[in-house]
C-alpha cells in the first residue's frame, strides 16, 4: 500500500498573532484504506483536513510550517490556479452539516453536474446520465425526480448522499469526510457509513474520515490517528489502537466511551412516581399537522432512571416537555401522587412545578448570560418564596456538590466550559428539591470525556437524593450507561419499554432491533482498561 498523501510536520496558526491550532502534525494516508482521525473539539482534526484541500480561510488561519505531499507536489503554498485542477478531480470533500452544504436556490442535480462540467468534456446529456448513475450508486430514491429537486425538499440523509455523489463524481484519489454523519439520525448514519465503506472498497480510494465517535471508528477504520489540542498523540492500526491503546489520552478517551449495559439484577419494582396514560399531542403549523404524541402510556418509578430513546421526530422531546408542563397535551392523563396534572389550573399546578425540573441540552443557551451563576441556581427557590439569604446559601452548597465550589457562583456563564455549565444546570434543577428530573439530551453537546463525567454526576446525584430521572437521548449507548429501564419511541409512539439489558441484548420490536443494529461499534468489545491495569476491578458484562 503506497502512501497517497503525506502530511509532514504541519503547523497552522490563527491570524493576527493568534494561537497555534495545529502543531507539528504528521500522518499519511494510503491507497485503498480508511484512515480515521479521532479527537475531541479543539483537537485540530478538522483544520488539518481543510489545510489539505487548501480551504483554510486566509484571513483567519495560515499554514506556518510543514508540507503536504501529494505524489511529488507540495500542496502547501500551491497557487490558486493549480488548486482548480486538483479539487473535485483528485480530492473530494464531504462536510458535517448536510443542511447547509448545498446551494439553497440551485437544483440538486445541477450542483452535481457542475463538477462534471468543470472537469470533463462530456456533453450535457452524457453528464446528466452520469449524475443519475451517481444518484443510483449512493442509493437515492427516484434519481430522475431527485435531479430537479431543491435541497430544502430533501432530508438530511438524502442531502448527505448528494454531497457524497458530488465528491465522488470524478472518482478522486482521496475522499475527505469531516464528521459527515454526526448530524444524522443513528439509522441514517448506519446507512451512510455503509455507503462510504462500500464505495471505498469498490473504487479503492483513500478516505480520511474525521470523527469524535469511537463507535464509528470501530466500524470502519483500517488505521487510526488520535489528535488532541493540535497534536498527534497516537497512530497505528485500528485493532491496536482500539484494543491496546498506549497513550494515556487515548486510554482516557476509550475508557469514557459509553459501554454496554451491565447485567444488573432486576431490582424490585419500586412504587410509581408518575403514571402517564394515553397522552396525545398534535401540532398544527400553517396547514401541516404533526402527531407528536400518540397515546403514550408509561410509568416512571420512584428512584429509577428511565431512558427515553428515539431519533429525530420521534416525539421524545415533546413528551419530556409535556410531562414538565411546558407543552400542554391535547388529551390523556399524567398522574403524580394521585393528582391529575393535565388540565390543572396554573395556580394548582404551582406546587407540582417544583417537583419536576429539567436539565437542558445546550450548555450555551441554558444560562442567562447576564446573570451570575449563583443567581441562576437560586432563582427557583426565590420565586417560590424562599428568603434570598437562605436561597443563596443553599445555592452555594449545591454548586459545591456538583464540583464548582469556591467563588464559582460569583462568575458569569461565559467564564465556564460546556461541561461546567451543564453541572450548573444540574445544580439549578436540584435547587427546588424535585422528585423527577428530566434530562433532555443533557450530554449530547459535550465531548465524550466530559460526557462521562456529567453522566457520573447524574448517577451520583440521583442516588443521593432518591431522584427519578427521565433521560432523553438519541444515543442508545449513552442511555445504556446509566438507565435502569429504557423506552423506545418512534414517530410519536412508544414502541418498546424494558430493562436496559433486555433492550440491548434481546430487543423484541422490529424497530428496536433496527436501532440496535445501527448503533456504531456494537461488534467491538471495548477493552476493560481498568482490568488491564488492575485485574481486581474487572467488570461483569452480560
| Site for another protein, rule CB under 8 A | 21, 41-47, 50, 53, 55-56, 59, 61, 80, 83-89, 91-93, 95, 97, 100-106, 114-115, 118-119, 150, 152-153, 163, 166-167, 324-326, 350, 353-354, 357-358, 360-362, 365-370, 376, 379-380, 383-384, 425, 428, 432
Nearer to another protein, 289 or 535 (CB): 289
Evaluate whether 64 touches 13 at the Cβ level (below 8 Å).
yes
Helix (H) or strand (E) holding 336: strand 331-336
As separate numbers, helices (DSSP H) first and strands (DSSP E) second, the chain gives 20, 20
Antiparallel, parallel or unpaired: β 436-440 and 356-359: parallel
Place of cell 452539516: 97
CB of 392 to another protein, least distance (A): 15
Cβ 293 vs Cβ 492: under 8 Å: yes
In the bound complex, what is the minimum distance in angstroms from residue 38's beta carbon to another protein? 13
Q: Which is nearer to another protein, 315 or 320 (CB)?
A: 320
- Which residues have C-beta within 8 Å of that of residue 516, sequence separation ≥ 6? 476, 503, 504, 507, 522
Nearer to another protein, 376 or 448 (CB): 376
Torsion angles phi and psi, residue 219, rounded to 5:
-75, -35
Taking the complex as a whole, the smallest distance from the CB of residue 71 to another protein amounts, in Å, to: 17
- C-alpha span between 509 and 503 (Å, rounded): 9
Pairing state of beta strands 174-178 and 339-340? Answer: unpaired
How near is the Cβ of 326 to another protein at its closest, in Å?
6
**DSSP classification of residue 171:** -
The stretches of 169-297 forming alpha helices (DSSP H) are 186-203, 214-220, 238-243, 248-256
CB of 105 to another protein, least distance (A): 6
CA–CA distances in Å: residue 224 to residues 4, 22, 241, 254, 350: 16, 18, 7, 13, 54
Shortest distance (Å) from residue 177 CB to another protein:
12
Distance in angstroms (rounded) separating the CA atoms of residues 351 and 144: 58
Whole-number Å distance between alpha carbons of 425 and 420: 9
H/E stretch holding 57 reads none
For the bound state, the minimum distance from the C-beta of residue 96 to another protein, rounded and expressed in Å, comes to 8
Mapped onto helix, strand or coil, the DSSP state of residue 511 is helix
Task: Please tell me the distance from the alpha carbon of residue 398 to that of residue 217, in angstroms, as a whole number.
Answer: 38
Contacting residues for 124 by C-beta, under 8 A, at least 6 apart: none
For residues 87 and 301, which CB has a smaller minimum distance to another protein in the complex?
87
> Strand 73-74 vs strand 231-237: parallel, antiparallel, or unpaired?
unpaired
Residue whose CB is less far from another protein, 352 or 471? 352
Nearer to another protein, 60 or 525 (CB): 60
Q: CB nearer to another protein: give 42 or 463.
A: 42
Cβ proximity to another protein: between 93 and 501 the closer is: 93
Could you tell me the smallest distance in angstroms from the CB atom of residue 92 to another protein? 7
Q: 142 or 534: whose CB is closer to another protein?
A: 142
* Least distance from another protein to the Cβ atom of residue 457, Å: 18
**CA distance linking residue 542 with residue 533, whole number of Å:** 21
- CB 243 to another protein: min, Å: 28
Residue 102 vs 480, nearer CB to another protein: 102
Amino acid at each position: 500500500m503506497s502512501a497517497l498523501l503525506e502530511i509532514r510536520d504541519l503547523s497552522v496558526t490563527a491570524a493576527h498573532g493568534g494561537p497555534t491550532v495545529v502543531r507539528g502534525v504528521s500522518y499519511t494516508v494510503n491507497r485503498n484504506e480508511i484512515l480515521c482521525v479521532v479527537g475531541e473539539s479543539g483537537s485540530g482534526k478538522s483544520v488539518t483536513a481543510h489545510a489539505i484541500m487548501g480551504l483554510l480561510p486566509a484571513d483567519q488561519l495560515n499554514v506556518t510550517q510543514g508540507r503536504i505531499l501529494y505524489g511529488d507536489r507540495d500542496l502547501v503554498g500551491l497557487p490558486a490556479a493549480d488548486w482548480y485542477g486538483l479539487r473535485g478531480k483528485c480530492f473530494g470533500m464531504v462536510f458535517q452539516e448536510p443542511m447547509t452544504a448545498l446551494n439553497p436556490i440551485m437544483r440538486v442535480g445541477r450542483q452535481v453536474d457542475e463538477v462534471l462540467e468543470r472537469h470533463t468534456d462530456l456533453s450535457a446529456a452524457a453528464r446528466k446520465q452520469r449524475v443519475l448513475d451517481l444518484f443510483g450508486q449512493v442509493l437515492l430514491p427516484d434519481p430522475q425526480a431527485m435531479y430537479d429537486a431543491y435541497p430544502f425538499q430533501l432530508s438530511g440523509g438524502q442531502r448527505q448522499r448528494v454531497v457524497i455523489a458530488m465528491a465522488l463524481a470524478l472518482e478522486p484519489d482521496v475522499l475527505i469526510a469531516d464528521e459527515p454523519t454526526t448530524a444524522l439520525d443513528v439509522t441514517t448514519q448506519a446507512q451512510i457509513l455503509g455507503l462510504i465503506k462500500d464505495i471505498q472498497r469498490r473504487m479503492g480510494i483513500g478516505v480520511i474520515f474525521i470523527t469524535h465517535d469511537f463507535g464509528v471508528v470501530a466500524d470502519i477504520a483500517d488505521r487510526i490517528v488520535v489528535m488532541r489540542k493540535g497534536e498527534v498523540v497516537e497512530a497505528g492500526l485500528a485493532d491496536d489502537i482500539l484494543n491496546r491503546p498506549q497513550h494515556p489520552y487515548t486510554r482516557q478517551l476509550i475508557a469514557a466511551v459509553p459501554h454496554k449495559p451491565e447485567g444488573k439484577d432486576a431490582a424490585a419494582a419500586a412504587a410509581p412516581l408518575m403514571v402517564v396514560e394515553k397522552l396525545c399531542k398534535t401540532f398544527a403549523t400553517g396547514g401541516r399537522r404533526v402527531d407528536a404524541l400518540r397515546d403514550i402510556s408509561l410509568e416512571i418509578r420512584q428512584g429509577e432512571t428511565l431512558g427515553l430513546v428515539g431519533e429525530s421526530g420521534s416525539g421524545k422531546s415533546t413528551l419530556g416537555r409535556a410531562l414538565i408542563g411546558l407543552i400542554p397535551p391535547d388529551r390523556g392523563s399524567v398522574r403524580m401522587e394521585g393528582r391529575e396534572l393535565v388540565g390543572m389550573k396554573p395556580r394548582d399546578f404551582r406546587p407540582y412545578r417544583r417537583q419536576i425540573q429539567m436539565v437542558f441540552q445546550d450548555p450555551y443557551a441554558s444560562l442567562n448570560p447576564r446573570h451570575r451563576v449563583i443567581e441562576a441556581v437560586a432563582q427557583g427557590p426565590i420565586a417560590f418564596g424562599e428568603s434570598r439569604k437562605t436561597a443563596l446559601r443553599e445555592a452555594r452548597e449545591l454548586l459545591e456538590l456538583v464540583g464548582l465550589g469556591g467563588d464559582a457562583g460569583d462568575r458569569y456563564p461565559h467564564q465556564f466550559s460546556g461541561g461546567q455549565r451543564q453541572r450548573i444546570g444540574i445544580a439549578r434543577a436540584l435547587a427546588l428539591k424535585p422528585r423527577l428530573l428530566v434530562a433532555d439530551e443533557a450530554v449530547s453537546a459535550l465531548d465524550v470525556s466530559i460526557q462521562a463525567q456529567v453522566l457520573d454526576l447524574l448517577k451520583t446525584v440521583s442516588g443521593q437524593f432518591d431522584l427519578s430521572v427521565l433521560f432523553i437521548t438519541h444515543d442508545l449507548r449513552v442511555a445504556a450507561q446509566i438507565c435502569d429501564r429504557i423506552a423506545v419511541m418512534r414517530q410519536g409512539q412508544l414502541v418498546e419499554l424494558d430493562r436496559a439489558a433486555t433492550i440491548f441484548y434481546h430487543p423484541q420490536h422490529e424497530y428496536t432491533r433496527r436501532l440496535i443494529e445501527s448503533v456504531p461499534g456494537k461488534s467491538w468489545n471495548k477493552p476493560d482498561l481498568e482490568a488491564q491495569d488492575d485485574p481486581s476491578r474487572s467488570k461483569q458484562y452480560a
